[in-house]
Structure 1
Amino acid sequence: MTPSVGHAVDHAVGHAVEPAVDLDKLYAARLHAVRVRPYLATALFALHVVPSRRVPTMAVDRHWRCYVSPGFVDRTPVEELAGVWVHEVSHLLRDHHGRGDRVARERGLHGRAERLRMNIAADCEINDDAYGEGLTPPAGAVTPQYLGLPEGELMEDYLRQFRLGPLTDDLAWLDCGSGADGLEREWDLGPDGAHGLDAQERDAVRFRVAQGIAGRPGDAPKGWRRWAEEAFHPPQRWRELLGAALRAAASGSGEGADYTYGRPARRSAGVPGVVLPSLRRTPPRVCVVVDTSGSVSDAELGSALLEVAAISRAVGGRRDLVTVMSCDASAGALHPLCLAEGIPLIGGGGTDLREGFARALRARPGPDVIVVLTDGQTPWPSTRPPCRTVVGLFARAGAPRTTYEEDEEGEYVPNSPPTWARVVEIG
């Protein structure tokens, strides 16, 4: 054991010194992993080894420490140890600890049993294409096939598809550490312990690995190529952004304000014998304009219907105050929102959402908010509408986001989205 490793272990357990781990064998396995997965080299060399008898095999924490069982190293061939190196660093690169924390909050998943399920789901995400081509799967590696699940999905997807039961009874030993599921272990050194990476250093490692994969995409499996693309272009939580943009537009000053005597104003107490009305905020009227031109796919139209349902929830569930209109080169009829499945989305021609805006503004009573769901390939109104506007743009991978306006000769030329609209990327 090197002095630095010994110091880290003393800090971890307070007094006991862990037995020495065969570092020559362990580092030979890491070098083998680097040779067969060169795009992971930066991440593999960033891990700091901490020997520990408390871990069953190898485990990581979110600060890029790798806790290693000396007995496990002794009994495991170098080729399999290389696979374990790649597996553990994959948990950290794919942010399974952060994603596990988010899933736990969103779905109310608490306790060690649920964290074990997260560890299994994260292993399925990694192991479906991690091995082969020079990398030997370690004994007991959990794959989607073992659980009867499809390949190529994410941890969050796998979590919805299985529960702990007979198939997972043999996996109770599994523990890849807090770096795999976000739940701190008793052996963790914590944020103030020795040899951990700070947030900036962790981001730098991920960026270097993503650069290596993007530079030689043919050398990496599909799962790693997808990860590298997202590392450069993090996906927006667009449904939350759309809801927040809509709520912000609907709650603007002066929108939907009215007076009521049903609840007298508190100022009435200062005027004996006089009942003053209180100011209340009525739910906003929302008009959703859906781009049904030929450049919008059927999948995007289906997504638009889902967003219409989300919009109704964002304004308090008042479906009677939400209307929907399809628009390509001309505007269709306004339809009240009853069931999203019953909304006719008719079109398929060119695109001119100016017609949709004009039709929405002619409605009586007029809308407080106009929401436009479009791919953005359209001319926009030249003046700001009298109500607030939210634009949901369907993503176009690899293509610049452009809209159009008319020049002096009547031709359409590229222009940026209107500055008076709140714009949210969808997809």
Structure 2
Amino acid sequence: MPPRPVRTVVRSSGLPLDMEKLLAARLHAVKVRPYLAGALFALQVVEDHTVLTMAVDAHWRCYVSPGFVLRTPVEELAGVWVHEVSHLLRDHHGRGERYAREQSAYGAGERLRRNIAADFEINDDIYGDGLPQPAGAVLPSLLDLAPGLLMEEYLRSTSMSGLPVELSWLDCGSGADGHTRPWELGPDGANGLSRQEQDAVRFRIAEGIRARPGDAPAGWRRWADEAFHPPQPWRQLLGAAVRSAVSAPGVGDDHTYRRPSRRSAALPGVLLPSLRRMPPRVCIVIDTSGSVSDGELGSALLEVAAISRAVGGRRDLVSVISCDAAAGVAVPLCRAENLELMGGGGTDLRSGFAQALRSRPDVIVVLTDGQTPWPSAQPRCRTVVGLFARPARAVDEDDPEYSPDTPPHWARVVSIG
């Protein structure tokens, strides 16, 4: 997904925002932390005089105080850019909401604890190597805690009662703790990223860090390894389909002169083409219903990229369908992270199967949580079902007696995550 142009939403009048200085700081952050470049360019700037420094919401908007930009050196501003985008990449808003629900920990004091614990998690990876540590940076050493822990571990290990009162001003926005602020634009405001776009950014950053792990600190390498599970071995899973496609009549009869046929030896002066084995055509049906989480959609993107590699990088042989209660149009694959997964309603993958069969694929791959009706008849091609990890018995919140049907016997089933 290419970087969006920066758009500034002005929330109030007063001191103007020095956009040139702010963007110079972002470019410095990109220079010294190149593995975070895609995420830094994805942030959308909102000028806001009610914010004390800089803060982010859960929709990847960055709220900026003009006064803070004016009085802060460019190198320190670059560190704030990295700090705020780290909250979003590490999903502190989603994790903060889950922790609040599990612990029934609500209120301003609990919000501050989550924000500080999230800062502890990321600040020990940020400073140094071109990003100077500002005075008063919130580090685990303030409470004699070990560096390198997760937000949840800091929250459970201490009450944080020993923190200085001066930190009560700390507010990185809902992107740091999951608690919506009155000054945020909300899900329907301008220039926010959808959950699929957010997953695409995380996917791209994690893939880049894994590709060149020596460029990133240990904390970011650990995040990249854990953000998305290792993909399935699709080369092996699709192997039977490849062999079937090659041996089927009329399939694989693609002639090539790159390697002449051995029969040419019997016909001097005549060059005969050989038959080239063709990888299978794969149609991927992704369950985008409301019961599928953001993390699972991110995992689906990872599997799509792995399937593309398994067919030799032939993206023209891979198409993708988003499906909730109804199926979308089969979209040819360009890049996995550029896919726009539409949905959010109920689930009925029968329409997804029907749409997939129109493209006459050799293999249908379905990525789902399994809470769906299945086709009554076996498709005329091989089927692989990737099931997102679920408890042994998934329950519909509206019907405690509901238990989804297992995938049909004719599908090969693998676990995702």
Pick the TM interval, shorter chain.
0.5 to 0.7
Note the C-alpha offset of 1:20: 1.9
Using the alignment, how far apart are the partners of 1:101 and 1:78 within structure 2?
33
Using the alignment, how far apart are the partners of 1:101 and 1:84 within structure 2?
23
The residue aligned with 1:214 is 210
The residue aligned with 1:113 is 109
Q: Is residue 91–residue 180 contact of structure 1 (8 Å, CA) maintained in 2?
A: yes
Using the alignment, how far apart are the partners of 1:39 and 1:50 within structure 2?
24
Note the C-alpha offset of 1:163: 2.2
TM-score by length of 2: 0.53
Alignment of 1:278-289 (within 5 A): none
Q: Is residue 143–residue 162 contact of structure 2 (8 Å, CA) maintained in 1?
A: no
Using the alignment, how far apart are the partners of 1:52 and 1:5 within structure 2?
13
* Number of aligned positions between the proteins: 234
Structure 1 position 188 matched with structure 2 position 189? no
1:135 maps to a residue whose letter is L
1:184 maps to a residue whose letter is T
- Which residue of 163, 169, 177 maps to 2:165? 169
2:30 maps to a residue whose letter is V
* Aligned partner of residue 67 in structure 1, secondary structure: strand
* Aligned partner of residue 133 in structure 1, secondary structure: coil
* Aligned partner of residue 164 in structure 2, secondary structure: helix
The residue aligned with 1:54 is 50
* Aligned partner of residue 128 in structure 1, secondary structure: helix
Using the alignment, how far apart are the partners of 2:213 and 2:171 within structure 1?
31
Note the C-alpha offset of 1:226: 0.8
Q: Identity percentage over the alignment?
A: 68
Using the alignment, how far apart are the partners of 1:202 and 1:18 within structure 2?
32
Change (3 A) 1:119 1:193: same
- Which residue of 24, 31, 37 maps to 1:35? 31
Structure 1 position 89 matched with structure 2 position 90? no
Using the alignment, how far apart are the partners of 1:182 and 1:82 within structure 2?
24
Note the C-alpha offset of 1:37: 0.3
Deviation string, structure 1 residues 110-157 (Cα, Å, up to 9, x no partner): 101101000000000001122111111233210111221001100000
2:195 maps to a residue whose letter is A
The residue aligned with 1:365 is none
The residue aligned with 2:100 is 104
The residue aligned with 2:74 is 78
* Aligned partner of residue 209 in structure 2, secondary structure: helix
Note the C-alpha offset of 1:231: 1.8
Using the alignment, how far apart are the partners of 1:425 and 1:179 within structure 2?
27
1:153 maps to a residue whose letter is L
Using the alignment, how far apart are the partners of 2:53 and 2:25 within structure 1?
14
Using the alignment, how far apart are the partners of 2:208 and 2:111 within structure 1?
31
Note the C-alpha offset of 1:194: 0.3
2:91 maps to a residue whose letter is D
Using the alignment, how far apart are the partners of 1:130 and 1:156 within structure 2?
19
Using the alignment, how far apart are the partners of 2:230 and 2:171 within structure 1?
28
- Which residue of 223, 228, 242 maps to 1:227? 223
The residue aligned with 2:59 is 63
Using the alignment, how far apart are the partners of 1:227 and 1:135 within structure 2?
20
2:123 maps to a residue whose letter is N
Change (3 A) 1:162 1:79: same
Q: Is residue 39–residue 213 contact of structure 1 (8 Å, CA) maintained in 2?
A: yes
Gaps of at least 5 residues in structure 1 are 11-15, 236-389, 391-421
Using the alignment, how far apart are the partners of 1:224 and 1:118 within structure 2?
20
The residue aligned with 1:130 is 126
The residue aligned with 1:325 is none
1:9 maps to a residue whose letter is V
The residue aligned with 2:10 is 9
* Aligned partner of residue 51 in structure 2, secondary structure: coil
Using the alignment, how far apart are the partners of 1:168 and 1:233 within structure 2?
39
Using the alignment, how far apart are the partners of 1:132 and 1:25 within structure 2?
21
Deviation string, structure 1 residues 190-226 (Cα, Å, up to 9, x no partner): 0000000001110010011111101110111111011
* Aligned partner of residue 125 in structure 2, secondary structure: coil
Using the alignment, how far apart are the partners of 2:112 and 2:86 within structure 1?
17
Using the alignment, how far apart are the partners of 1:205 and 1:18 within structure 2?
33
2:189 maps to a residue whose letter is G
Q: Is residue 60–residue 177 contact of structure 1 (8 Å, CA) maintained in 2?
A: yes
Using the alignment, how far apart are the partners of 2:153 and 2:164 within structure 1?
17
Note the C-alpha offset of 1:165: 3.0
TM-score by length of 1: 0.52
1:215 maps to a residue whose letter is A
* Aligned partner of residue 159 in structure 2, secondary structure: coil
* Aligned partner of residue 111 in structure 2, secondary structure: helix
Q: Is residue 19–residue 51 contact of structure 1 (8 Å, CA) maintained in 2?
A: no
Using the alignment, how far apart are the partners of 1:64 and 1:193 within structure 2?
11
Using the alignment, how far apart are the partners of 2:98 and 2:226 within structure 1?
17
Using the alignment, how far apart are the partners of 2:200 and 2:14 within structure 1?
31
The residue aligned with 1:158 is 154
* Aligned partner of residue 53 in structure 1, secondary structure: coil
Using the alignment, how far apart are the partners of 2:130 and 2:414 within structure 1?
47
Using the alignment, how far apart are the partners of 2:25 and 2:6 within structure 1?
21
The residue aligned with 1:326 is none
1:119 maps to a residue whose letter is N
Q: Is residue 84–residue 138 contact of structure 1 (8 Å, CA) maintained in 2?
A: no
| Structure whose CA Rg is larger | 1
Note the C-alpha offset of 1:164: 4.2
* Aligned partner of residue 69 in structure 2, secondary structure: helix
Note the C-alpha offset of 1:181: 0.2
> Over aligned residues, Cα RMSD in angstroms?
2.5
